[in-house]
Every structure is written in structure tokens, then in C-alpha cells.
A = this chain, B = another copy of it.
Amino acid sequence: MEPSVSLTRQALETLDREDPLASFREEFMLPDGLIYLDGNSLGAMPKTARARIDEVVSQEWGHDLITSWNKNDWFDLSLRLGTKIARLIGANDDEVVVSDSTGINLYKVLCMALALRPDRNVILMEDSNFPTDNYVAQGLVRQLGRGQEVRFASRETIIDHITSDVAVLALTQVHYKTGAVFDMDEITRRAHEAGALACWDLCHSAGAIAVDLGRARADFAVGCGYKFLNGGPGAPAFLYVAKRHQGKAQQPLSGWWGHADPFAFERDYRPTKDIRQLQSGTQPILSLAALECGLDIMGRADMALLRTKSMALGASFKALMDAHCAEFGFTLTSPQRAEDRASQIAYTHPHGYAIMQALIAQDVIGDFRAPDILRFGFTPLYTRYQDMWNAVMAIKAVMTEQSWKLPQYATRTKVT
């Protein structure tokens, strides 16, 4: 899918004027002049969040105090947000809950998966995955110490590694660096054919591409709230357990929120048989309230339109890079075709870190991923076509003027 118009600034501005999603941009706080291509790392702030959070702080906490658990429905907030996310990812309302962090949620569902396949001992993962998923799986098998194993395979050969000892295939649907998309339906089918379960990390999928866990018959999924869902920094994460597995195995982080009767204060744990068993303890209400603001915008957006625009943005960016920056040594590390990428694109460059710092100094915000990747995210709710022009022109300027060689851009600092 390549843009059909000639890629002038004017043509891109015309696309913005004709964009059926254009009005969503007004719903987000975006500083003047900033070209923000990092919504895949931290989504922009919904303007509603400011008033809503102030209401939660000053009214619900400050005034209503403890009564808010009932009066302002804090008790069911995690489930209500779960339902809102379920509708974005093709799940049923009672299959998703918001809780904890992505890694901890992955731990919970991997525990369930191993329990559901007691005669198998392998967690199969992709070796170039965002490593926190690997780390969590490694932590689990190290802890269990009964011959369980995390086995890694390359992205290209992963399907061939679903052998009869694989309990669960745990993949991130969209690669965090390249944006390459796994075929969830096909891979889940192949996993099931081999008797394995399929768990999907949707961190770079949810809100970025159409996800249909139900159609794919996915067994488990996890994902975060602070990227394309615009839920705020460190927003609590979500998890999905297919209804058919609920109550069939128990996750071990068994706090009172997952008890069949939490307010009976019984001495011994009795699990609920539904998605609530995946909850542990009390969740951070302020951060949950912010997440709801993001979800409520996303819930009004048409995913087909989002996807079409996302691909067009990515294709425009790539075409502009081809046209204006071919000489500067960038290598596309994402798939060539927009259809094969989610909502981000990545290039390698030997001076990637310094170049990104120089871009950020010019208010073009992408991010850097070790060792040499520049990553640009497109958030069709608020990214404009003209941003593609301005971003690539900024890259061209940084390279032409060699401003990335300035000493202040040379030193690595932490980036997320």
C-alpha cells in the first residue's frame, strides 16, 4: 500500500484535510510544534484526562474518601476497563481484566498454561522479542525447576518449533523494534494443531491494528495500557483468558481480589472461577482512571479507518525517506510493505543514538533501541500526514548539517 499521490508537503496537507479521523487529534494534548512519533512508547494525553484525574483526586479521594469504593465504583473499575479493552481486541466482555503490569500478567497466564498442559514442559518464545517477556518466562521456569524450559526460536522458524513438548507458544504479535506482525490466526491454529496453547503479547497491537482474539481462538493474551491505548505513564496492564480456560487452572498470585468471596475474609483461598481469579490485590485507582480516558477515545474510533491511515502514514514516511534520505546510510529494518508492519517503522544506522538525540532536540520525537535502531511510531488518532513530511525533512537536515555529531548527542542516557 503506497500513497497514491505525489508526496509533496501540499499533497500531505490535503490528505490531512480529507482525513476522516482528523478530529481525534483535537482530543489530545500535543505541544505546539512537536512531531511526536513515539506514541508506541507513551501515548499522548487525552485532554479529558486532566479534568477526570482532578475529579478522582479532589472529589473521589479527597471528598468521598473510603466510600468511593462503592459510590464511585472503584471496585469494578478493573473489570469495567477490561470490558472496554475486550471490545478493542475481539474478546468477550468477561474475558479481560486490567491489573498489574504486563510482565506480571504474563507470569500469571503462563502459570495457567503450564497447568493446563501438565505433560509438556516448554514455553516457546521468539529470540528477538522484547526481552521482559523472556525474563518473566525464565523466572518462572527457574522457580519451578522441574525440567520446564524456555526455548527460543527465530521469528522465521518459530512455527517449525512447535514440537510435542511445547505447552505454550508465547509470542509478541507486533515486534517492538520492527513493527513486523505475526499472523495470529495461522500461528494459533498451528499451535493448537500441535496440542500447544497460544499466548499473545499485544503491547504494540492493541489500538494499533485490528486484533481478534476470538476469531483466532487465542488462549491467553496480555498487553499494556500506555502505548496506543493512551492510558498514561505506567498505566496498568491487561490480560485475557479465553472463557473456556477460566476456572480450569489457577494462577498463583492469589490475592483477595481473586477470592470467591473476598469480603468474607476467610482464612483459606477459594478461587473465583472467572476472570477475576487473575486479579491479585488493590489496583492504583488514579492510573486506572487515566487509562479509562484513553480507552473511551479509542472505543469511538473505527479500527478499519485507523489501520488504513496507519498504513498510509507508514508508507508516506518510507517513501519520503527513500526520496530524501537515501544517501545517509539508513537501512530499513521493518518489513517493506505497510501491510506487514503494525503502526511503526524502524531503520538502523551506525550513529542511530546520536541521530535520534539530534532529532529530539529539534522536536521530532522518535526513540532509539539498542544497538542501532531508530524507531518511529504512527498513532493515527493524532499523527498527521504532514508530520511525515516534517519528520523526514528534520532527518534530512540533521544528516545534511551533521548536527548529530555535536558532543551533547553522543552520550547514551536511558530511554524507554
B-binding residues in A (CB < 8 A): 29, 31, 34, 36, 38, 41-42, 44-45, 49-50, 53-54, 56-58, 60-63, 65-70, 74-75, 100-104, 107, 111, 127-128, 130-132, 134-136, 138-140, 142-144, 152, 224, 226, 232-237, 250-256, 258-259, 263-269, 280-288, 290, 360, 365, 367, 369-370, 413-416
Instruction: Known A61-B233, A130-B265; judge A284-B281 contact (CB<8 A).
Output: no
A134 touches B234 (CB 8 A): no
Could you write out 8 A-B pairs with CB less than 8 Å apart? A45-B58, A49-B62, A50-B58, A131-B268, A135-B268, A136-B254, A138-B254, A234-B283
Copies of this protein in the assembly total 2
Q: Is the CB of A103 within 8 A of B232?
A: no
A234–B66 CA distance with the chains assembled, in angstroms = 11
Give the residue of B45, B144, B265 whose beta carbon is less than 8 angstroms from that of A61.
B45
Q: Could you tell me if A252 and B284 are in contact, using CB atoms closer than 8 angstroms?
A: no
B residues less than 8 Å from A367 (CB atoms): 66
In the complex the two chains form, is A267's CB within 8 Å of B57's CB? Answer: no
What separation, in Å, do the CA atoms of A31 and B132 have in the docked complex? Answer: 44
**In the bound complex, how far is the Cα of B253 from the Cα of A102, in angstroms?**
11
CB distance from A56 to the nearest CB of B (A): 8
Give the distance in Å from the alpha carbon of A107 to the alpha carbon of B237 in the complex.
19
Determine if B268 and A138 form an interchain contact, defined as CB atoms under 8 angstroms apart.
yes
B-side contacts of A136, CB under 8 Å: 253-255, 280
Contact of A65 among B50, B267, B365 (CB under 8 A): B365
Is there contact, CB below 8 Å, between B135 and A259? yes
With both chains docked as a complex, state the minimum distance between the C-beta of A317 and any C-beta of chain B, in angstroms.
18
